[in-house]
Structure 1
Amino acid sequence: MEALPLIPGYSFQNPCNHDHKLKQKLDHKDGYRVVRDSFIGTGRRPVDAASSAYSGRHYENFLQYDPSLTYGRNKDYPCRQVIPHYVLFAQKCLKFKAFFRQSVFNSPMEHFRIRHVNIIYFLEDDTMCVIEPSVDNAGLQQGKLVRRGKIPKENSPTFYHWKDLNVGINISIYGVVYHTVDCDTFTEEYMRSQGIDPGNREQPPPDSYTQDRLAKLAVSRASSSRSKKPRPEEDPRRRFLEFDGMVLTFDAIWNEDSYQIMYFLTDDTIAVKEMIRPNSGKDPNRMLLKKTKIPKNWTDLPVWYPSIYLERTDEEVVEYYCPMDLKVGETIFIFGRKFLLLDCDSFTRRYYKNMLGIEQPPRIFPTTSSSSRCLASPHPTSCTSLSKKSKKEDVIRQIFNHPKKLRYLMTMVAVRPEDEGREFILEYSLSHGTIKINELSRKNSGRRAGCFLASRHIPKSHSKLENCDEEVPIYTPRDLYIGAIIDIFSHRFLITGADLFVMKYIEENQDKFPEEVVENMRSYFNRVSVGSSERVEDIKDDHLDNFVKTKKNDCLIPATKQIGLSPDAQKIDSGVPQPQDEQTNPCQKYERDRSLPKQITWADQVQVPCTLMTNT
């Protein structure tokens, strides 16, 4: 079996072999570690001839000879280490400066804009991105315009490679044409090392709109710098050490309220604090304005300045308030609010006298004397002083005239077409002297009937006062007569009718009314009594269900219920004949009740106890 060739199919295992011992190969000889190799294998069987080809005796001298001991070892150069592509070009990119033209529609100032961008090519993975540098107040969405990725060429399935990029060429990226004008130093050196000559650098075109904005900004800054007073540059730390804790305090008034204006010498800021009076109902320690620099003219800003969402800075403000501008008796404007300086503390007076050489005037007490003319205000107390006491109410008048009211029918003098035909009822309270106006309902008018003006004193329009001590004139029954036009808060009304109680009140108090008003009301009610035979229709109102109006004379007359009348009650018959047939159906009875003559009584209108009614 040993003579068989060692090819597949000719090797067999000997089942009689039970010795599998392997001869030891590692040994020591003369104190050295040696390897004993032989042709004897496992179980002392011969090994393969190929592995022991050089184990013969005639090769022993050849195997033991080492030529490197005689000639030395060959100095072979080591193989160069292989560096991956993504490691070699990590964080290395090519940068090209470019621009593209963006069209602007529906603008008379510009037709296109030039937008400058940077095209960055990453060498590690052959990707590209387009980034637009941010420009201040551009109003456009800037930053990364094209995200990083492989950019396909236009009308081609391939992607852009760095060999396709150069200076002075057009690159189409997703439909936008970019023109490259420059590149950085690394890009230029890399392209030259690869045998590509970069093109000549070009000057990027300017943006006309940006140039116009810069020109306007330069002009505004130049004008503001010329108008500004030269301010010496001071070290804020020196001011802090010198003026720390020093505050100029002034007492001032605005809108009849007391305030304290504090000027901080450390940083030239002003704070305004409201001085709360006892039992005023306001929160204590209320700051109207925190520490800030106050410009003298806070509305003096350029036309183009976006003041809606940007705060003004030192470049826009021409001049701030300084200690020279604060004097007792003068008025300062803090963001449009008018403050009158009344007094200052002792430290402020010493500072002005010793440091600035200015003697502050003595304290000013707010008085009502004034030579100026005051226009009437909707609020009667708007022109009164702080020290003036409120007017006491006439309690006797309120008790005696508690339920009495004078009612007038009015129409609005139409300024707009939709105000045509609007009717109102004016109620004058004899107990308080206030006027209340209710609007009557009208079908398909689109307006809700009800209270048009709450009860209040109504001043006369365009009335002027010679002195602020005088009271503002208000409307009284002397000003209310048929045909009178009254102006109530810029709304003009024409009085067209009156109540029967109005005539009753005028007749009993003729000494309080002019003769013209008495004759006007008498002639009006005479016409009403002559034409009282006409049909009367009800005025439907949620708050005034007890009023009726004639069509011809527009007379407002109070209707009464069918109750007993007092001897002094006035009666007006409509003149409509009463029906003779009493046996009618419900519908005919309802129509008959509507056509019955209605008796008008002053007692039902006044609604007061009989004791007061007989005294009046």
Structure 2
Amino acid sequence: MSGLPLLPGNSFRDPTKTKYHKPQTLGFRNGYTVTPPPKAGIGGEKLTTTLYDELPNLSQLAINKPEMIYGQANQAPEEDYIPAHVAFDKKVLCFQAFYKQAVHESADEYYRIRFVKIYYYLEDDSIAIVEPPMRNSGMPQGKLLKRQRLPKDDFGSTWHWKDINLGVNLSTYGKVFHIYDCDKFTQDYLESEGIVMNPPEIPAPDPYIEKRNTQQRTFATKSDEDKLKKFLTLDKKVLRFFCIWDDRDNMFGELRPFVLHYYLVDDTIEIREVRQQNSGRDPFPSLMSRQKIPLNRNSIPSSFPTSVLELSSQELKDYIVPSDLRIGRTLNILGRRFLLYDCDLFTQNYYYQHYNITDFTPIDVMEKRPPPPRKEIPPYNGFGSLEDSEQSCKTLIPQPPKKDFMKMLEFNNVILRYEAKYVNPSPEDATRRFVFTYRLADDLMLIYEPRQRNSGIIGGKFLERTRVVKPGCDPNRPEYYGPKDFTIGSVVVVYGHKFVITDADDYVFRYIEENPDQFPSDIIESMRKYKIGKDKIRDEKKQIESKKTKNMAAPVRNEQELDELVRTIQAQLKRENYMNSHSLQEAFLQCDKDRSGRIDRDELATLCEKFNLPCDAQLLRTLINRCDMNNDGLIDYWEFSRFLNWN
């Protein structure tokens, strides 16, 4: 049966076979799954050959067919197609070459070397030949051959960049161009493509150019002056003089400043104008270009024809030299007179070294302009304040006068008070007293007259807050009273009223001591002496009043003692100029809820202490006890206020 071919109909099943189970091929070894080769077939039949015997070795399988082990390899993506006109756009090879051009019927040259540049465009393998222009060549130059593909031979092939190298002859259209050099980009590109570049060559010389470059023999007689030495030693050395042209003889003429430059290298002179702003002239700074100036233009021979306008060097022999230029000299240059009035430091050193001149004092030639007209302020017309009227005259659009805000902030709430009386008063004005209030923030003064009982004169404001002008000063430039004018014994005239300062409050003395730089020394000394005498008198009065107070502090027994007590308290209030009785009455009314006209004595004493009544506390307590007529602790505050009213 085994010898029959394996064809349909030749395979027979064994009828005696009863086992068809598969053998065990999977297992574990040391914790890992293994697949050992099977040793028995289906049903336990013995295997003569296995599939593993037919397969090659696994190592050889991994080498020969790695895709069976590692899977199919990923192929790299195909690169995008880039056309040549994009990849080689603006990439041009540049070669330097020359060709020989035959010259016929010329004894100086037989051929001429023409240098060209060969441009090879990589995008379409086209070639352009351009001849760089040369000055004064007398030949048409520029593009010799426009951009195109050049034929290489008669078989239709064209020149390619692989055919071009240094030292190669490029023949086209009957001309042979010999390439001798190229630029760096061309050399790097050809070497990157694997072409070995030949070394650069030296181009063939042009026989005509070499002949022209040879030094010609001169037969002119040399000058005694060494111009080369003069050029090497005096080049860029220029004498500079400041001059002025006086044109005031003509109509609308004026003094015009200029700068004269003398070039030592060739003895030429240049005159440049000094431009001035808002002069009304066009900006032409060069008045005369650089040239030689004759010393005397009229010194020409009589044989010179008068019809010739221009003079040459044959007629003019003497020119202006550095010895003719000095400060203070006047030069006649082309019909204009220029006065030299100053020079720079280099010019001064040059004249000191060569001519031993030491006096370089400049001349004052500028016109002295008259002072600007002074703005005259019209006299004060009496409308508004003087400062307001003056400010309206200074500007076209009226503006309010400017205030010194820094002074207002520095002297805010700084007020000086003085007591004054009339000078040589009439009998009815002898007892009148005035209080001068001076505010430093704005220098305004207020005069107040305290009211006096049975005087027949209405007190109150004697003068509103204003600035007071000193008598006898210029009304257009007035002088106002200040803190320095208020001293003890000084006379102050206020609109015809003469006052003498008799006293000042304690704050004035403290302010003068704290600010001695604002007052003269004599005023400080006099105020100090007055303060010492005033304090001494005050102390004596206090001692006398303390004795009186002890006597009056006893219980009041009759009306005469009550009147004496009230007069003493009113005298103390009047001395301190106490004017706050109206506010004290309003406080009494607020405490009187039922409007009975009476309040508690302790509450009345508290209000008096709150309002700082400037009188002796024992006298005030005695007066409160006297006002308690019924001994019920209630005080008639209207009667109490009447006792305190010293006016």
Fold match (TM-score > 0.5): no
Larger radius of gyration: 2
Normalising to structure 1: TM-score of the pair?
0.30
User: Would you tell me which structure has more helix in proportion to its own residues?
Assistant: 2
Which structure has more RCO (C-alpha within 8 Å, separation ≥ 6)?
A: 1
Taking structure 2 as the reference length, what is the TM-score of the superposition? 0.29
